[in-house]
Amino acid sequence: MKSINNEQFTRVMKALRTAYNQKERLDAGDMWQTRVMGHVLSMGVVSARAGYFELFQQFVWRLTPVAFVLIGILSMALVKMNFFSDYEFTKALVSNSSDLVTLAMYSGS
Amino acid sequence: MFNDSEIVKKVLEGNVNAFESLMLRYKDLVMRIVTKHVPFSEAEEMSQEAFIRAFQSLSSFKGKGDFRQWLSSIAVRTCYDYWRKVYRSKEVSMCALTEKHQKWLEEVISDQSDPSFNEDSERKEATEMLEWAMNELSAEDRMVVELIYLEGLSGKEAAELLGWSVANVKVRAFRSKNKLKKLLKETIKR
């Protein structure tokens, strides 16, 4: 036998399913329950505030891709609007206090 | 007799002891889920972990929903995290297949009757074969195969338990089924 067809595969899966369903069951006793409750009690009170924090975290992480997309769009828009060259030009003018005449000319006063 | 939502409310109001009644109510459910997904020796610890996680995130439980479903989801995700951790640390025990397993596989393939294990040895080989096949898959594929093909859940039900999208579960189910098929083919060819 060199290969396995769909019907044969289904048969193997059925056998594996039978083995899976016959897995040994665990019956935890009172000791286990006492141990878990001891652990829970040592953790103290769970307040609803913790839930708000979790919700906040979930919200922030969900917004991450949106934030990245917005940053990308804004950057592209700024590049297209030639904002950076205008900004550099203005910065150069402002930093050079001796050239106040040019600055006045550009600012319209 | 308080319902689940009322008990959750009590716990959140500071009565931590009330959590024990939830544990009593759902202990068997969590044990049943966990023993199916993780090795027997780890089941107690993982069940404990599932209840602790449930307690820690109790405030995120929406009272109107089904607590049983919510807790089942936590138990399944705890098992998934267990496998992720095991695979990451490369502690997966790889049991080698012997001639017995191969023979068992060939018998199952050629036998037309329903698979039922009359002898303990047959059951042992089937269980070992199952363990081997699952260990060959990734943690994600393993969970999907167990939930969909071995437990018979729908893609939507598995997705809800794992907290994944239905599309993701369906794609994984398809791929993992092919992986399994390939593995079995290779086993027969040996």
- Greater model confidence, B129 or B97: B129
Q: Which of A38-52, B66-80, B82-96 has the lowest mean pLDDT?
A: A38-52
Confidence (pLDDT) at A29:
81
pLDDT bin (cut points 50, 70, 90) of residue B190 is: low
User: Which run of H or of E encompasses A106?
Assistant: helix A100-107
Residue B103 in contact with partner chain A when CB distance is under 8 A: no
User: What's the CA gap between B116 and B108, in Å, rounded?
Assistant: 10
pLDDT bin (cut points 50, 70, 90) of residue A49 is: low
Confidence (pLDDT) at A25:
79
Residue A98 in contact with partner chain B when CB distance is under 8 A: no
Residue B59 in contact with partner chain A when CB distance is under 8 A: yes
- Greater model confidence, A59 or B100: B100
Q: Where are the domains of chain B?
A: 1-92
Give me the interface pTM, i.e. the ipTM: 0.83
Between 3.40.50.1000, 2.40.128.20, 1.10.3430.10, 1.10.1740.10, what CATH number should domain B1-92 receive? 1.10.1740.10
Q: Which of A40-44, A79-83, B61-65 has the lowest mean pLDDT?
A: B61-65
- Tokens 């009690």 belong to residue: A41
Confidence (pLDDT) at A98:
63
Contact: A16, B133; criterion CB under 8 Å: yes
Over residues A6-46, the pLDDT tens digits come to 888 888 898 899 999 988 777 878 889 999 999 999 988 77
Dmax (CA) for chain A in angstroms is: 93
Token pair, residue B169, equals 């579960």
User: What's the CA gap between B152 and B53, in Å, rounded?
Assistant: 26
Token pair, residue B137, equals 């898959």
Q: Select the residue of A36, A46, A55 nearest B58 (Cβ to Cβ).
A: A46
User: What's the CA gap between A15 and B135, in Å, rounded?
Assistant: 17
Contact: A19, B130; criterion CB under 8 Å: yes
Residue window 13-32, chain A: list those with CB within 8 Å of chain B.
Answer: 13-28, 32
A-chain residues near B35 (CB < 8 A): 23-26
Residue window 54-93, chain A: list those with CB within 8 Å of chain B.
Answer: 54-55
What letter does residue B113 receive in the DSSP assignment?
S
Confidence (pLDDT) at A86:
72
Q: Which of A80-84, B21-25, B173-177 has the lowest mean pLDDT?
A: A80-84
